[in-house]
Amino acid sequence: SPEETIKVFFAVWPDAAAQERLSKLASQLASLCRGRAINLPLIHLTLVFVGNVTGQQLETLCQVANEVKQSNFHLTMDEIQYWQHNRIVHIGPSQCPAKLSALVNDLQNRLSQAGFSLEKRRYIPHITLVRKALCRNLPDLTASIAWHVNEWALVQSKQTDQGTVYLSLDRWPLEE
């Protein structure tokens, strides 16, 4: 029906090697923090959370995304943190790459102009590794986890009997 909406967000995915390392780290942290480790295929870095959209809005989203021309970049995740307010353990870059900020800002501005109301909170790049965590002391990260970001995606978050699944709806390359 035209009333039906789906929940979507823009994100980047780690490459296979980084995915593997992030998944192992998530398991270690979950056992330390008594939380729930994220499943490997769900590991991602959100660029912009959009939320529920209609089919019409989805089309607009893709048109907006088609206009974005930004550069690829190297991303180094080197800082583990615990957020008490939502009880997640996450990993992020201690320095947000300028090209990541540029991509996020470009997307945010174009989406606002197209009439999407986005969150007003400041963007903090992070990959959620553990949910429902209760952490006192976090271990030091022995080695950072890095990969090259060549593309970004529009992803649907779907609730199923097996839990949340993410479906990649479309993706766009980042320029050399």
Chain contacts with ligand 2AM (rule: CB under 6 A): 9, 46, 49, 88, 119, 128, 157
Query: What is the Cα–Cα distance from 2 to 54, expressed in whole angstroms?
Result: 7
- Contact between 151 and 173 under an 8 Å Cβ cutoff? The reply is yes
Q: Which is nearer to ligand 2AM, 1 or 159 (CB)?
A: 159
Adjacency order of strands within the sheet including 88-92: 36-37, 127-131, 88-92, 79-83
Check if 74 is active-site. no
Query: How many CB atoms are located within 10 Å of the residue 80 CB?
Result: 19
Element containing residue 10 per DSSP (H, E)? strand 6-12
Q: Which is nearer to ligand 2AM, 21 or 90 (CB)?
A: 90
Cα dihedral 170, 44, 119, 130 sign: positive
Out of 74, 90, 126, 148, the active site residue is 126
Check if 85 is active-site. no
Least Å from the CB of residue 70 to ligand 2AM: 20
Strand 145-149 relative to strand 45-53: parallel, antiparallel, unpaired?
unpaired
**Quick one: which of 97, 129, 170 has its CA closest to 27?**
129
Least Å from the CB of residue 9 to ligand 2AM: 5
Q: Which is nearer to ligand 2AM, 129 or 174 (CB)?
A: 129
Q: Which is nearer to ligand 2AM, 54 or 69 (CB)?
A: 54
Least Å from the CB of residue 117 to ligand 2AM: 12
Least Å from the CB of residue 95 to ligand 2AM: 19
Out of 44, 74, 85, 90, the active site residue is 44
Task: Point out the residues that are catalytic.
Answer: 44, 126
